[in-house]
Structure 1
Amino acid sequence: MFQKRQLRFIYLVILIIVIVLIYKSFTGPDNAPPADEAELRVEVDQTSDEAALKPSPAPVYVVVYYEALCPDSKHFVIRQLKPAFERAPALMEIQFVPYGKATTTTKQDGSLAFECQHGPIECEANTIHACVIEAVHDPKTRLEMVACMIQDNIMPRDAFQRCARENGVEIESIQKCFDSTHSAELLKLHGEATHALRPPVTFIPTITLDGSQANQKSLLKDLFGAVCQVAAGRGPKPDVCK
């Protein structure tokens, strides 16, 4: 009986030793990743962390001084502004100023009257644009609305309703805006912003990038390149511009 117990004990010890040896064979130094692989993992992790923490560059502030019936304004919005924004929406913050070379007069009764370069229809279209710009807060939708309306503004109200339906924009509140005196107040504010520009507006559209009117001819032909140049002047060139 004693011998049997001894044999059992010896077998148990041998089994434990075998298990320990097998465990060490799987977890020992030979199975650790190579030093260079471990270093690579650390470097990749650090690079990923740095990319996540790297702040995005501030957008270039693009202000468009335009007229709703101006052919050059139409060309710029459709051929330059919209494609540039679609290419790099995070790189641009766009502000629209629909007024151009109009004039504002305050009548004796306190009401406002406007004269526009392309006639009364343009004044009506400018007020509708002003109401849309105030009401639509999403930058992409606002640009889509302006680009859609300026494509064919001969009948401004029809253009607004058609473009609003195409872009899922609520019609009633904006229509109330341009049917009220609020639209005239908005257009007056756009006029004041236009007249405050220095040097004064001589051509429509006039574009400012971060407040500067420099290089008008080139940016009217290549807005994206001009925006990239301004952004690169602040620091590293944005990836989208490379």
Structure 2
Amino acid sequence: MPHDTFPRIGLGTYSADDREQWTENVRTALDVGYRHIDTAQVYENERFVGDGIRGATVDRDDVFLSTKTVHHDVPSDPDAVPDAIDGCLERLGVEAVDLLYVHWPSGIYDHDAILPAYDDAYDSGNARRIGLSNFTPELLDEARETLEAPLFAHQVEMHPLLPQEDLVAYAQKHDHWLVAYSPLAQGEVFDVPEIRQVATKHDATPAQVSLAWLLSHDNVAAIPKASSREHMVQNLAARELDLDAEDIETINSIDRRHRVIDPEHGPWNW
């Protein structure tokens, strides 16, 4: 099976508007070296992401493609989940995705009703791997007891202002990836003094330092959004930034905490 090595920096593709931009953005990302593209049903851009992959010079088998369904209110009927999964594949124009996530454990989500559809997608080969997103440790326990497919990844917001120590430890214990979305806290990490200090030391950008800090965890990947070639190249270069123990300690000493994505339906708010 392809993708024995999980690409640890991928392209996040959420945007509130101008969804058509992701055709060119994805094509550019693949051109500069990305091999991991992340989208979701609710982003309403899967068609454009798929067009970008097909328009690139990179073979589909060399692209790790992930998507998500079962948003907190989409679809509205648990029985429609298999059709929703098929719809993701149709819009992307692929026979299978490399990773299929449950987007939120809220709204229509119920582990007994929803997760069998993901097992079916895994068994049929429509989803090569299964993931969860925005779960708490307790909900992860419940899901892991229900899923027959191995849990490959858990996607959550993570960055130096939201280090997610418990979920990192959980992923290490249970041998799955933690995938960080909003890994730059939508730009808020750029002005954090400790991050700027480390960036100056290494002649790097605050974004690169934040991404390198994420990658310093053995089981963490990151999917920063980027729309310019320059930022895409800079983000990928974070893989080569080697933070030392002093740098890690400096970043870990940040006492400010902030969650960027904090909807009422987030299970941490229950």
| TM value normalised by structure 1 | 0.30
More helix by share: 1
Asked which structure has the greater CA Rg, the reply is 1
| TM value normalised by structure 2 | 0.27
